[in-house]
């Protein structure tokens, strides 16, 4: 073979190799979340966060491009979520499942996931038990007990002796109630009563009246953010609970950045505990907030769900880098376990034992900054695990 022929063959071999690389199929992520109905912002924020990650870091990791396919559960709809998961797995051949704003949707998909062995990245749903329902689930968001314990302890130390709890009657609410009652009593507090409101269309008026009449120092609240938190705050204000001396405390779901401006004045001064605030003072968060607006416009302020969408994409990207692009479920899960990332919310870690997130929980107060309402962090509890695990 003369040198010219050799050179030509080498060029061809390189071309084939490059072509083969380019043809490596994209990693497909099936995003199941709420994109319409009363919880439509959940899916939107999650996907906005995922897109923000791709904007800042490119879309190819471990040699493979990632793409996602969105599917809408339309709300808390376990049967729809199940069907969407089955279709994504068998028809669209996705490699990874992600999204999940609401607990009932995540719980419905978990057994299908365990059977199909697909890494499943929970980007919001925050009932403690979810991660135990499939060994391929990893959670990058939060759990209600993790976010609740710090405010219970803070309240007991800050003059609140008698508390009332009001929660939405499903997984995360029941978890929040359990964690609050336990931690508040352990710190010497007294629980006057605990009520649970329906997940669909609650009317808060009778509950608010009962709370006012029983004169607690504070009411601890967990409601899924959106129309319910707006209605609750409005009722709290209109029925004069504040004037009657009943403080309002909760996890940051209550003063969600995505809804805070719409809730307006009555939120000023509210104290909550949470893992993410759009006002978190760090270079990572400033870059995130800026890129979020560039990618998604300014209709939405990034909230904790957007942050978890961003971090979920980061975890997928880092895992792909570690596995060299392999989505073999066991290799992929090994890559995720123990992973540490610097999130816009601060340092996070995936607990290798539970596949749940370990993170800083902040105590915050709603303040007006440059004309807008923000949750301003003033105290923190580092490395908080889900206390039930």
Beta carbon of residue 27, minimum distance to ligand PHB (angstroms, whole number): 26
Q: Is the Cβ of residue 119 or residue 250 nearer to ligand PHB in the bound state?
A: 250
Part in contact with ligand PHB (CB under 6 A); list of ranges 67-75, 80-88, 119-127, 287-295: 119-127
Stretch in the footprint of ligand PHB (CB under 6 A) among 120-128, 153-161, 328-336, 339-347: 120-128
Residues 164-193 that bind ligand PHB (CB under 6 A): 171-172
Q: Near ligand PHB by CB under 6 A, which window of 59-67, 121-129, 348-356, 367-375?
A: 121-129
Nearest-approach distance from CB 96 to ligand PHB, in angstroms: 20
Closest CA to 42 of 172, 235, 232: 172
Nearest approach, Cβ of residue 386 and ligand PHB (Å): 13
**Residue pointed to by tokens 């964690």:** 179
User: Binding to ligand PHB by residue 126, rule CB under 6 A?
Assistant: yes
**Shortest Å distance, C-beta 167 to ligand PHB:** 11
Q: Which of 103, 296, 323, 375 binds ligand PHB (CB under 6 A)?
A: 103
173 vs 216 by CB, closer to ligand PHB: 173
73: Cβ contacts below 8 Å, ≥ 6 apart = 32, 33, 34, 35, 43, 80, 81, 84, 102, 105
What is 314-335 written as a DSSP string? HHHHHHHHHHTT---HHHHHHH
By CB under 6 A, residue 127 contacts ligand PHB: yes
State the Cα–Cα distance between residues 17 and 61, nearest whole angstrom. 18
Comparison of 224 and 329: residue with beta carbon closer to ligand PHB = 224
DSSP 272: E
Q: Which stretch binds ligand PHB (CB under 6 A): 124-132, 188-196, 294-302, 331-339?
A: 124-132
Give CA–CA dist 298/42, Å, rounded: 16
Name the minimum Å distance from CB 265 to ligand PHB: 22
* Phi, psi values for residue 201, rounded to 5°: 45, 55
Question: 363 and 147 in contact (C-beta within 8 Å)?
Answer: no
- CB neighbours (10 Å) of residue 184? 26
Structure tokens at 248: 């309002």
By C-beta, is 124 or 146 nearer to ligand PHB?
A: 124
Q: Pick between residue 145 and residue 172 the one whose CB is nearest to ligand PHB.
A: 172
Number of neighbours of residue 179 by Cβ within 10 angstroms: 27
Q: Which regions of 124-267 does DSSP assign to beta strands (E)? A: 137-139, 162-168, 190-197, 218-222, 247-251
Nearest distance, CB of residue 360 and ligand PHB, angstroms: 18
Kindly state the helix (H) or strand (E) to which residue 28 belongs, with its residue range: strand 27-33
Q: Which of 328, 272, 331 is nearest to 304 (CA)?
A: 272
The CB-of-343 to ligand PHB minimum distance in angstroms stands at 17
Residue 225 in the binding site for ligand PHB (CB under 6 A)? yes
By CB under 6 A, is residue 217 in contact with ligand PHB?
no
Among 127, 171, 97, 154, residue whose Cα is nearest residue 327: 97
102 near ligand PHB, judged by CB under 6 A? yes
Beta carbon of residue 365, minimum distance to ligand PHB (angstroms, whole number): 19
Of the residues 41, 253, 311, 377, which one makes contact with ligand PHB according to CB under 6 A: 253
DSSP state of 161: -
By CB under 6 A, name the binding residues for ligand PHB. Answer: 102-103, 124-127, 171-172, 224-225, 253
């Amino acid at each position: 073979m003369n040198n010219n022929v050799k050179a030509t063959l080498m060029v061809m071999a390189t071309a084939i190799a490059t072509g083969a690389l380019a043809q490596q199929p994209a990693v497909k992520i099936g995003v199941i979340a709420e994109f319409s109905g009363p919880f439509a912002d959940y899916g939107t924020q999650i996907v906005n966060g995922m897109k923000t990650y791709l904007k800042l870091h490119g879309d190819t990791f471990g040699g493979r491009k990632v793409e996602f396919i969105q599917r809408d559960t339309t709300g808390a709809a376990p049967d729809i979520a199940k069907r969407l998961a089955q279709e994504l797995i068998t028809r669209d051949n996705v490699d990874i499942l992600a999204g999940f704003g609401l607990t009932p949707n995540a719980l419905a998909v978990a057994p299908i996931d365990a059977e199909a062995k697909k890494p499943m990245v929970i980007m919001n749903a925050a009932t403690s038990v979810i991660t135990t329902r499939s060994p391929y689930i990893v959670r990058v968001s939060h759990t209600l007990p993790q976010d609740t314990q710090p405010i219970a302890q803070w309240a007991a130390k800050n003059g609140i002796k008698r508390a009332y709890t009001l929660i939405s009657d499903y997984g995360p609410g029941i978890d929040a109630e359990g964690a609050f009652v336990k931690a508040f009593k352990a710190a010497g507090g007294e629980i006057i009563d605990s009520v649970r409101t329906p997940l669909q269309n609650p009317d808060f008026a009778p509950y608010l009246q009962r709370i006012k009449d029983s004169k607690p120092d504070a009411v601890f609240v967990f409601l899924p953010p959106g129309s319910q938190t707006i209605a609750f705050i409005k009722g709290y204000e209109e029925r004069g609970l504040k004037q009657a001396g009943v403080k309002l405390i909760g996890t940051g779901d209550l003063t969600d950045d995505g809804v805070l401006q719409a809730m307006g004045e009555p939120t000023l001064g509210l104290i909550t505990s949470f893992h993410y605030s759009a006002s978190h003072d760090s270079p990572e968060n400033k870059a995130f907030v800026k890129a979020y607006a560039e990618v998604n416009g300014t209709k939405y302020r990034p909230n904790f769900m957007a942050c978890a969408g961003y971090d979920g994409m980061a975890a997928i990207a880092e895992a792909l880098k570690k596995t060299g692009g392999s989505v073999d479920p066991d290799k992929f899960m090994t890559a995720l376990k123990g992973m540490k990332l610097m999130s816009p919310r601060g340092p996070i870690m995936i607990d290798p034992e539970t596949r749940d997130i370990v993170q800083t929980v902040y105590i915050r107060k709603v303040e007006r900054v440059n004309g807008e309402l923000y949750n301003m962090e003033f105290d923190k509890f580092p490395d908080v695990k889900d206390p039930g695990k």
